Structure 1
Amino acid sequence: MPDVKVTYDKTVNAAYVYFTDPQVNVRSARMYPCDPINVDGMINLDFDEQGRLIGIEVLDATSKLPEYVLHAAERLDPEDC
């Protein structure tokens, strides 16, 4: 299974799961918010121009993702925050 890049910013409690090659700059062409009733409106799916899923943004990440995922994620904030 390929490695999946995950970033986490504790300051805003947001994580991003990338499904693209980290060496390739792929831009989101369309964002689809998941049903806010079922997931509290905290997960957004990003798609490229060909309609492929390129990433998942998870807001309020500590309530949506397992702790081990957040600990292993690349930090985007100073860890002492």
Structure 2
Amino acid sequence: MKITYDPEADAAYLYLKDSIEAGEVMKTECCYPQGLESTVAINADFNAKGTLLGLEILGASECLPEAVLAEAHRLDQ
């Protein structure tokens, strides 16, 4: 699993496969975790078969452990 993090946007992406090809995401479902609705949104990306490809986490610093963000590939470097 690969994780990227953009600290300027405070957005992380958890890839559940090595790479996601352009056009592979066919459906995105958004959820707002209870108690964090105003600061965190999670977008789940699915392919045409309904397989979960990855998760985008907006407001990542509010809900992901610091150790996870520290190990993520930073998009600002």
For the superposition of Structure 1 and Structure 2, which TM-score range results when normalised by the shorter chain? 0.7 to 0.9
Q: Which runs of 5+ in 1 are unaligned?
A: none
Counterpart residue number, 2:74: 75
| Shift of residue 70, structure 1, vs aligned partner | 0.3
| 3-state SS of 1:71 partner | helix
What percent identity do the matched residue pairs reach? 40
Q: Which runs of 5+ in 2 are unaligned?
A: none
Asked whether 1:29 is paired with 2:21, we answer: no
| 3-state SS of 2:8 partner | coil
**1 or 2, which has the higher helix percentage?**
1
Deviations 1:3-52 (A, max 9, x none): x1000000100000001123x62621100011x36251511111011100
Output the TM-score relative to the length of structure 1. 0.80
Q: What is the aligned residue count?
A: 73
